[in-house]
C-alpha cells in the first residue's frame, strides 16, 4: 500500500483514493508516524498492530465538518504569517533538535530542519509575537545530554521556558522509549 500511495503522489491523483490510503497507512504504520525521504516518498515501516481501527467513521465525519470552516495551508511555516494576528493562538511543534548522535532525525519532509531552521523559526516567532499572537512552542531539551547547551535559552531568552517530562514513544527499541525532558516555550 505504501508503494501504491507513493506512486499516486507522483502521478495524477485521485484525492479520495489518496485520502483513504493515507488514513490506512497512518493507522497501520509504526506508531502513526508520518515521514518522507529525500525524494518525498512516505517511508515509515509497518507497525505491529493486531487489530487497528482503520476507519473511525464518526470521527472522520466530525473532522470533515470542522474542516469546512478552516483554511489548510501546506508549506513552510512562514506562510502562516498572513493569517496570524493578536487574536491567534499558535502552537508550533517543529522537528526536534537532536539531543544525541543516534537521535539525528531532523526532517519530516525532503528538507532537513537543522539549527539554521531553528533560528529562522525563532525569528518567525519573534515576528508573530510582536503582533500580539499567543505562542507555544515545543522542542527537545539539549540539557538532557549536555548541561552547558544553551541553544534554546539563547534563541528564546525573552520568552518563558519550562521543562516538562514527556514520554518518548518513537524509538525502534522499546526499552529506549520513556520519560525525557522537553521544552515548552511561550510568550505568556
pLDDT category of residue 173 using cuts at 50, 70 and 90: low
Nearest 10 degrees: Cα torsion 78, 101, 45, 106: 0
Note the pLDDT of residue 18: 86
**Is 101 or 129 the better-scoring residue by pLDDT?**
129
The DSSP code for 74 is: -
- Identify the pLDDT of residue 19: 85
Neighbours of 138 (CB within 10 A): 16
Do residues 36 and 110 touch, judged by C-beta distance below 8 A? Answer: yes
Domains of the chain and CATH, by start? 2-67 (1.10.1020.10), 77-186 (no CATH)
Q: What is the pLDDT of residues 65-108, one digit of tens each?
A: 999 988 887 889 999 999 999 999 999 999 888 876 555 555 55
Helix (H, G, I), strand (E, B) or coil at 65: helix
* Per-residue pLDDT band at 10 (split at 50, 70, 90): low
Distance (Å) of CA 67 to CA 14, 60, 63, 71, 80? 20, 10, 6, 8, 17
Amino acid at each position: 500500500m505504501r508503494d501504491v500511495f507513493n506512486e499516486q503522489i507522483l502521478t495524477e491523483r485521485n484525492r479520495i483514493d489518496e485520502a483513504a490510503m493515507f488514513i490506512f497507512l497512518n493507522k497501520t504504520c509504526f506508531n502513526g508516524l508520518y515521514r518522507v525521504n529525500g525524494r518525498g516518498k512516505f517511508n515509515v515501516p509497518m507497525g505491529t498492530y493486531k487489530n487497528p481501527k482503520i476507519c473511525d467513521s464518526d470521527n472522520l465525519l466530525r473532522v470533515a465538518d470542522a474542516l469546512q470552516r478552516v483554511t489548510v495551508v501546506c508549506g513552510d511555516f512562514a506562510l502562516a504569517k498572513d493569517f496570524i494576528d493578536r487574536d491567534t493562538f499558535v502552537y508550533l511543534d517543529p522537528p526536534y533538535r537532536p539531543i544525541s548522535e543516534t537521535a539525528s532525525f531532523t526532517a519530516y519532509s525532503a528538507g532537513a530542519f537543522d539549527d539554521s531552521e531553528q533560528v529562522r523559526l525563532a525569528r518567525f516567532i519573534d515576528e508573530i509575537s510582536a503582533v500580539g499572537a499567543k505562542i507555544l512552542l515545543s522542542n527537545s531539551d539539549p540539557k538532557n545530554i549536555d548541561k552547558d547547551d544553551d541553544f534554546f535559552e539563547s534563541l528564546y531568552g525573552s520568552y518563558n521556558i519550562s521543562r516538562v517530562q514527556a514520554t518518548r514513544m518513537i524509538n525502534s527499541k522499546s526499552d529506549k522509549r520513556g520519560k525525557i525532558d522537553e521544552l515548552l516555550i511561550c510568550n505568556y
